[in-house]
Structure 1
Amino acid sequence: MDSIIPLGQKNTLAEYMILSCADNRPPMLPKDLYDSWKSRMELYMQNKEIGRMILESVENSPLIWPTIEENKVTRTKKYVELSTIEKIQADCDMKATNIILQGTTLTKQERECKLYNAFDKFSHIKRESLHKYYLRFTQLINDMNIYKMKLEQFQVNTKFLNSLPPEWCKFVTDVKLVKDLHTTNYDQLDAYLEQHELHANEVRIMRESNQDPLALVANH
């Protein structure tokens, strides 16, 4: 009779079986399971060639490169000037760094997903000034630029305009008529809209008091 292994144990055994022969990529970093990731990463490193030295590079910090005096000036040795043992250690340091960076790639992917989601759901906060709205949008776009996330200019401008509340409707329509959203930037759109913020606020107040906002805009 075959022994029955709980599903969770089967998964764990499978992970370590894969890990023992995984040469192409290290285990990815589970966001809230650092201890598990640490153990798996150690096993992965030990399974690599000169794995013990790679692991020691992580645990004991990388090689402090030796120096040499040349023409009465002390400088760091070049790689070709290192001893055989020092070269091996330097190579291990590089491999350890690459393994850790590859293992944390998922963190970058998760961050990008969150930023795209934040962009899709970005909207105006009730009673928020145009300036604060602009600053929040700018921060989001800057964060996306850090990760070199591709967004078309038209896409950014359209999001900036269409996420404004209803009191901005007429002024958004106006700016779309006078600005080319493919070539302008949202800084220029913000500068244009700022001229009409007082009127937009008046429209909001009229709407909240159940008066006709269109009549107010027509009068202006």
Structure 2
Amino acid sequence: MELYLMNRQHGRMILESVENGPLIWPMIEENVVTRPKKYYELSATEVIQADCDVKATNIILQGLLLEVYALFSNHQIAKELWKRIQLLMQGTSLMKQERECKLYDEFNKFCYKKKETLHDFSNKFWYACVTSPTLTILQ
């Protein structure tokens, strides 16, 4: 993600929004009441940072699967969103390794052995395709 963000305009600010949280909007005192500044009252740098906060959240949401997006689409703060997604996806790399191991096992069924005839290899191939629940024969 860092490489992608660094290639964008204001990439450092977007990344900081993910890592450190959003801009804390400055307060203004008006008629003895303290309130946060409105968007149009922000300085040029603060406007850019506020926009980067929104971009950070959008970038993270765009990279999600639809099922995961439905879980997190209501989060507004990129830092919170990123932490929760990381927790959800912790087991994903382990599952990927497991799938790769199974794929290698399936591949080994199709390796050609020395002194094996083409007919023997063809029979072995068709038997593996018919008996394997994970393989489907394309027609």
TM range (shorter): 0.3 to 0.5
Q: Which protein, 1 or 2, shows the higher relative CO under an 8 Å CA cutoff with sep ≥ 6?
A: 2
Which one has a bigger Cα radius of gyration? 1
Length-normalised TM-score, structure 1 = 0.30
More helix by share: 1
